[in-house]
């Protein structure tokens, strides 16, 4: 079973993602910011990380950088409310960029694609 | 020796002879014959004073005025007589000097070849004879002189009468020459006067061909310069004989002309001293008359000139008064041309005005005023002649019709200033007026052509003339520059097409004067108009700025709200979907959750629109197929409920060039336009989608049209449709069209609206065709990479 680490400061989003992804058959662990995500990374050893960008303590961009230092090939999806960071060079290190939406079809497809190829 | 009876007879016949009316020479001969017969003398002579002058003897006798009786020549002292006089002396003779009063008339000589003694009766008789003969000669002289004087007086009287009969200078000069010619019985005459401006002697009137003779000019110049009259009888062998009298006209110590007469119309064809004197008297007498006529002429001319100036000034004043009634640009132009064409104003038939467009370096036809035809011209002039009031009132009351053929022709004329052959360009560039008159020709007035093939060498001639002159014979027109402050701002063209009145230099002068005033008025009106425009623009810019600031603030606010709302919305929508999946199909909660899902999706779209409008999204330029994009946009909307009942018309050209663009963004545009069209038609109407290639300036473009029959846009709202947050729908945020506009503009395209209020609206999008090398080179991280 593939493991996914969901990082988001919004409790309701973490809850929604966890429910949806577990339903898809993934093992899901949540973190509320980048720092907590880094802490949980070595113990949980996820196969994929979903990172919200705007978060307190440590934001998604910083977390992406830190995770890439440790795990070069770990697939990472950046999630944001809108497409405002799409052209931001710092997001290039991620494997995908997903705009948050109530319809999670696109999000789930992206995960499936990334995990399928890795 | 006659006896008393004989003496009486002799005396009787001599008295009869002397009082008879036979010519004097015959009379004297008969008297001498009678005396000679009565006295039986051998010689009886009458020595005239001019003959006596040559003889010393008779001269002395004449000076003594005493009779001489020589009865025996031996006693006569012959030494007193010179040789040639000798044959005159008979052995006995008597010389009786003829003296009447103090005037000496000659000597009566009677001679006898034999010795003769003069009896006292004979002496008395001869002395009496002498007195009678002297009296007869004297009478004859007096008679002759009286006749001459009368004839001179008559001539002078005639001359005086003639020259005072008219004040007209030309007539007066003509009469002087003709009367002088008659009086002096001359064959020809020339009258010259000094031209005050050039100080040259100029022929004013002449009879005969004498003025063509170079000698005539020479004589006149000499008499004029030396102020001395001249009488010349030239019987030259080389030249034809010429008799001339020339006198100067004098006044106040200076000469101002000459009068010359040529060749007497008599046998001798020569003038005598008396003629000369008569001419001098005439010249003297008429000098003042001529000068008076000259002064009168000059005064009249001056007064006419002044009168004209006063009239011009008053007309100009009236015209200016009319111009001062408004600052409205169009009205000022109308008033200017009305003033030029109104009869009491400048009175031209037609007037056209061209103003310079400094940006494009062209002269643009702005306005024209004038009748369309000769009949219309006649009607206008007739109705104007019945109107009353001041000129300025009249001009301001008239308003020329704006839609005349002439006006539309002139408004369509544009002349590049570089086109130097054109009279209008030249008028503008050289800043001077032109008066052009084209002579009659077989071709009509197609006389000259400029490079562009315009008749008359001017575009106006080409357009206006061809159009309006159906029977072109002679066409005259004039152009004057329109001066603003220190520079030419346009050109006025005038003509007299209908009454064919010639355009005089003074007309142009007056027109130029008025054009200067009008130019300033027009320039002021332009400045005023510009000021108003700038003021309006400023007001609009200010409004836009305020609006934009509001928009920015609203955008920022919306953006932060959008961010805050998005996460909860994702949760609500996400969980609603989860619920939806778990609820059985027939449970009423299924619909409840579906409603939540739909509304969340709508909210998400609104938030995305706000975000997109407030953020510039980079375009991922790729070669795309507009046909595919439009089809996909259409299919995105075809599921909607209001699509049913709407007729769909697709007109797609076979060959559609590919374009450079972001298919995702373009889909957004067309989808929105189609969505709007369906909404406007509310389930019935026709949606037309057209797609065709077009070519502009050699470049290829694709034009997409989305047309509906949904009643169109209220014209009042039309200018707002691309403004964000402007909407007439209560369920929309009003960002669709602004976003579409933004996307099309960033694609270097154009979005145009053909609005038919009450019918429908057609959105026309033009996008440039594909060019290799313009594809996007930037890497964009996409979800599907």
**Best mutation site among A76, A85, A90, A102 for testing chain B: the one with the most B CBs within 10 Å?**
A102
Which residues touch B210 (CB under 8 Å, ≥6 apart)? B187, B188, B189, B190, B216, B260, B262
Proportion of chain B above pLDDT 90, given as a percent: 10
Question: Is residue A80's pLDDT more than 70?
Answer: yes
Question: Is residue B162's pLDDT more than 90?
Answer: no
Question: Is residue B457's pLDDT more than 70?
Answer: no
Residues of chain B with CATH 3.30.565.10: 618-768
Query: How confident is residue B250, by pLDDT bands cut at 50, 70 and 90?
Result: confident
Instruction: Please indicate whether, in this complex, the C-beta atoms of A81 and B563 are within 8 angstroms of each other.
Output: yes
pLDDT of residue A28: 94
pLDDT of residue B42: 87
- The pTM for the full model equals 0.48
Instruction: Please indicate whether, in this complex, the C-beta atoms of A92 and B604 are within 8 angstroms of each other.
Output: no
Question: Is residue B634's pLDDT more than 60?
Answer: yes
Q: Which of B704, B685, B716 shows the shortest CA–CA distance to B762?
A: B704
pLDDT of residue B734: 66
The CA-atom distances, in angstroms, between B506 and each of B341, B481, B502 are 16, 16, 11
Question: Is residue B697's pLDDT more than 60?
Answer: yes
pLDDT of residue B355: 92
Angle in degrees, 0-180, between the axes of helices B273-323 and B505-582, rounded to the nearest 10 = 20
The separation between the first and the last C-alpha atoms of chain A, rounded to the nearest angstrom, is 14
A79 chain-B contacts, CB cut-off 8 A: none
A96 chain-B contacts, CB cut-off 8 A: 781, 783, 785
CA distance B113 to B244: 52
pLDDT of residue B780: 35
- Quote the DSSP letter at residue B710: S
Q: Which of B583, B586, B665, B582 shows the shortest CA–CA distance to B620?
A: B665
Question: Is residue B525's pLDDT more than 70?
Answer: yes
CA distance B369 to B350: 6
Question: Cβ of B428: how many Cβ atoms within 10 Å?
Answer: 23
pLDDT of residue B575: 92
Question: Is residue B467's pLDDT more than 50?
Answer: no
Pick the CATH number of B618-768 from 3.40.190.10, 1.10.760.10, 3.30.565.10, 3.30.200.20: 3.30.565.10
**Listed range (B217-221, B233-237, B318-322, B720-724) with the worst mean pLDDT:** B233-237
CB-based burial of residue B83 (10 Å sphere; 0-12 exposed, 13-18 middle, 19+ buried)?
Answer: exposed
Proportion of chain A above pLDDT 70, given as a percent: 92
A87 chain-B contacts, CB cut-off 8 A: 618, 778, 780
Instruction: Please indicate whether, in this complex, the C-beta atoms of A102 and B780 are within 8 angstroms of each other.
Output: no
B165-300 CATH: 3.30.450.40
Tell whether B604 lies on the interface with A, counting CB pairs under 8 A. yes
Which residue do the tokens 């005089």 mark? B504
pLDDT of residue B444: 36
pLDDT of residue B246: 92
Question: Is residue B459's pLDDT more than 60?
Answer: no
**Listed range (B29-43, B52-66, B449-463, B621-635) with the worst mean pLDDT:** B449-463
Instruction: Please indicate whether, in this complex, the C-beta atoms of A100 and B567 are within 8 angstroms of each other.
Output: yes
**Listed range (B201-210, B395-404, B767-776) with the worst mean pLDDT:** B767-776
Residue A62 β-bridge partners: none
Out of A16, A92, A97, whose CB is closest to B783? A97
Ramachandran assignment for B748, one of left (phi > 0), alpha (psi -120 to 50 degrees), beta (any other):
left
Q: Which of B463, B437, B488, B507 shows the shortest CA–CA distance to B368?
A: B463
The mean per-residue pLDDT over the stretch B482-491 comes to: 90
pLDDT of residue B725: 62
pLDDT of residue B454: 46
Question: Is residue B416's pLDDT more than 60?
Answer: yes
Which residues touch B566 (CB under 8 Å, ≥6 apart)? A81, A82, A100, B604, B607
CA distance B767 to B752: 12
Proportion of chain B above pLDDT 70, given as a percent: 87
The ipTM value here is 0.90
Q: How open is the CA angle B710-B713-B715, to the nearest 5 degrees?
A: 150
Contact call for residues B71 and B65 (beta carbons, < 8 A) = no
CB-based burial of residue B81 (10 Å sphere; 0-12 exposed, 13-18 middle, 19+ buried)?
Answer: middle
Question: Cβ of B97: how many Cβ atoms within 10 Å?
Answer: 22
Q: Domain residues of chain A, as ranges?
A: 3-117
Residues of chain B with CATH 3.30.450.40: 4-146, 165-300, 324-533
Query: Domain B324-533 in CATH: superfamily?
Result: GAF domain (3.30.450.40)
Phi, psi of B479 (to 5 degrees): -125, 140
The mean per-residue pLDDT over the stretch B463-480 comes to: 58
pLDDT of residue B784: 37
- Interface residues from chain A to B (CB-CB < 8 Å): 10, 12-13, 15-16, 19-20, 54, 81-84, 86-87, 91-92, 94, 96-104, 106, 110
pLDDT of residue B491: 92
Question: Is residue B599's pLDDT more than 80?
Answer: yes
Contact call for residues B558 and B614 (beta carbons, < 8 A) = yes
The mean per-residue pLDDT over the stretch A82-101 comes to: 76
**Local structure of B7: helix, strand or coil:** helix
Query: Could you name the CATH architecture of B4-146?
Result: 2-Layer Sandwich (3.30)
For residue B573, the chain A residue with the least C-alpha distance is A102
Ramachandran assignment for B361, one of left (phi > 0), alpha (psi -120 to 50 degrees), beta (any other):
left
Instruction: Please indicate whether, in this complex, the C-beta atoms of A102 and B779 are within 8 angstroms of each other.
Output: no
The mean per-residue pLDDT over the stretch B747-763 comes to: 89
pLDDT of residue B482: 92
**Listed range (B327-331, B452-456, B608-612) with the worst mean pLDDT:** B452-456
Contact call for residues B238 and B223 (beta carbons, < 8 A) = no
pLDDT in tens, B101-147: 778 888 888 888 888 888 888 888 888 888 888 888 888 888 888 88
pLDDT in tens, B365-386: 888 888 877 788 788 777 777 7
Query: How confident is residue A14, by pLDDT bands cut at 50, 70 and 90?
Result: very high
pLDDT of residue B400: 66
The mean per-residue pLDDT over the stretch B324-344 comes to: 85
**Listed range (A84-93, B418-427, B585-594) with the worst mean pLDDT:** A84-93
Instruction: Please indicate whether, in this complex, the C-beta atoms of B571 and A16 are within 8 angstroms of each other.
Output: yes
Question: Is residue B474's pLDDT more than 60?
Answer: no
Q: Count how many pairs of residues, chain A against chain B, have C-beta atoms within 8 Å.
A: 79
**Listed range (A25-34, B153-162, B298-307, B591-600) with the worst mean pLDDT:** B153-162
Query: How confident is residue A118, by pLDDT bands cut at 50, 70 and 90?
Result: very low
The mean per-residue pLDDT over the stretch B508-528 comes to: 89
B569 chain-A contacts, CB cut-off 8 A: 102
Query: Domain A3-117 in CATH: superfamily?
Result: Response regulator (3.40.50.2300)
């Amino acid at each position: 079973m593939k493991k996914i680490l969901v990082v988001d400061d919004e409790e309701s989003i973490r809850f929604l993602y966890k429910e949806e992804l577990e339903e898809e058959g993934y093992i899901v662990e949540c973190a509320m910011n980048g720092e907590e995500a880094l802490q949980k990374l070595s113990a949980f050893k996820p196969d994929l990380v979903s990172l919200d960008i705007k978060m307190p303590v440590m934001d998604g961009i910083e977390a992406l950088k830190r995770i890439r230092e440790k795990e070069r090939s770990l697939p990472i999806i950046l999630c944001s409310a809108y497409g405002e960071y799409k052209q931001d060079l710092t997001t290039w290190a991620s494997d995908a960029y997903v705009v948050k939406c109530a319809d999670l079809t696109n999000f789930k497809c992206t995960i499936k694609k990334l995990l399928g190829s890795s | 020796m006659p006896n008393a009876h004989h003496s009486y007879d002799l005396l009787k016949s001599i008295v009869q002879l002397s009082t008879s009316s036979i010519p004097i020479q015959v009379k004297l001969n008969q008297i001498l014959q009678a005396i000679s017969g009565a006295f039986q003398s051998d010689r009886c002579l009458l020595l005239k004073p001019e003959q006596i002058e040559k003889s010393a003897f008779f001269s002395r006798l004449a000076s003594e005025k005493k009779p001489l009786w020589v009865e025996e020549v031996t006693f006569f002292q012959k030494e007193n007589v010179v040789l040639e006089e000798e044959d005159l002396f008979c052995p006995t003779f008597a010389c009786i000097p003829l003296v009447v009063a103090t005037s000496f008339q000659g000597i009566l000589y009677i001679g006898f070849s034999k010795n003769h003694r003069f009896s006292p009766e004979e002496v008395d008789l001869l002395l009496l004879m002498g007195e009678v003969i002297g009296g007869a000669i004297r009478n004859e002289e007096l008679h002759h002189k009286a006749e001459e004087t009368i004839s001179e007086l008559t001539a002078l009287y005639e001359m005086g009468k003639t020259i005072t009969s008219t004040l007209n200078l030309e007539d007066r000069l003509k009469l002087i020459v003709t009367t002088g010619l008659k009086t002096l019985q001359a064959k020809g005459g020339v009258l010259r006067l000094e031209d005050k401006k050039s100080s040259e002697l100029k022929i004013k009137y002449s009879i005969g061909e004498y003025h063509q003779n170079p000698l005539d000019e020479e004589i006149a110049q000499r008499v004029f310069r030396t102020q001395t009259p001249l009488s010349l009888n030239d019987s030259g062998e080389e030249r034809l004989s010429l008799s001339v009298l020339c006198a100067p006209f004098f006044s106040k110590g200076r000469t101002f002309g000459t009068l010359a007469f040529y060749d007497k119309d008599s046998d001798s064809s020569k003038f005598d001293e008396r003629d000369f004197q008569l001419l001098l008297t005439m010249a003297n007498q008429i000098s003042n008359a001529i000068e008076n006529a000259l002064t009168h002429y000059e005064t009249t001319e001056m007064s006419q000139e002044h009168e004209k100036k006063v009239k011009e000034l008053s007309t100009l004043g009236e015209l200016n008064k009319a111009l001062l009634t408004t600052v409205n640009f169009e009205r000022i132009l109308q008033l200017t041309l009305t003033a030029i064409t109104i009869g009491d104003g400048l009175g031209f038939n037609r007037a056209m005005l061209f103003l310079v467009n400094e940006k494009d370096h062209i002269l643009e036809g702005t306005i024209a005023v004038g009748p369309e035809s000769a009949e219309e011209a006649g009607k206008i002039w007739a109705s104007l002649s019945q109107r009353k009031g001041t000129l300025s009132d009249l001009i301001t009351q008239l308003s020329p019709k704006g839609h005349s053929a002439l006006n539309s022709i002139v408004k369509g004329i544009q002349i590049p200033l570089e086109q130097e052959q054109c009279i209008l360009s030249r008028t503008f560039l050289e800043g001077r007026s032109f008066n052009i008159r084209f002579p009659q020709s077989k071709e009509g007035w197609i006389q000259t052509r400029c490079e562009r093939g315009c008749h008359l060498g001017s575009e106006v001639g080409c357009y206006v003339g061809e159009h309006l002159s159906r029977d072109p014979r002679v066409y005259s027109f004039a152009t004057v520059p329109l001066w603003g402050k220190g520079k030419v701002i346009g050109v006025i063209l005038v003509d007299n097409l209908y009454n064919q009145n010639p355009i005089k230099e003074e007309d142009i002068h007056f027109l130029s004067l008025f054009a200067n005033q009008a130019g300033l008025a027009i320039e002021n009106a332009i400045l005023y108009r510009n000021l108003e425009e700038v003021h309006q623009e400023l007001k609009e810019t200010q409004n836009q700025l305020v609006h934009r600031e509001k928009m920015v603030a609203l955008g920022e606010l919306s953006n932060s709200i959008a961010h805050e709302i998005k996460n909860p919305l994702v949760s609500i929508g996400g969980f609603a979907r989860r619920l939806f999946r778990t609820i059985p199909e027939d449970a009423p909660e299924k619909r409840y959750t579906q409603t939540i899902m739909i509304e969340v999706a709508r909210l998400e779209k609104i938030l995305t629109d706000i975000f997109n409008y407030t953020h510039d999204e980079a375009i991922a330029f790729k070669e795309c197929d507009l046909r595919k994009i439009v089809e996909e946009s259409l299919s995105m909307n075809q599921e909607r409920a209001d699509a049913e009942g709407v007729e769909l018309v697709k007109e797609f050209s076979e060959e559609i060039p590919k374009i450079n663009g972001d298919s995702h963004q373009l889909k957004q545009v067309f989808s929105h336009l189609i969505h709007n069209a369906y909404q406007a038609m509310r389930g019935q109407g026709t949606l037309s989608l057209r797609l065709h290639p077009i070519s502009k300036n050699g470049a290829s473009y694709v034009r997409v049209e989305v047309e509906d029959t949904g009643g169109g846009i209220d014209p009042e709202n039309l200018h707002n449709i691309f403004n964000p947050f402007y909407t007439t729908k209560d369920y929309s945020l009003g960002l669709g069209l602004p976003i579409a506009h933004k996307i099309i503009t960033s694609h270097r395209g154009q979005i145009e609206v053909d609005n038919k209020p009450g019918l429908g609206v057609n959105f026309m999008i033009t996008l440039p065709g594909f060019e290799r090398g313009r594809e996007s080179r930037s890497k964009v991280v996409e979800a599907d990479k």
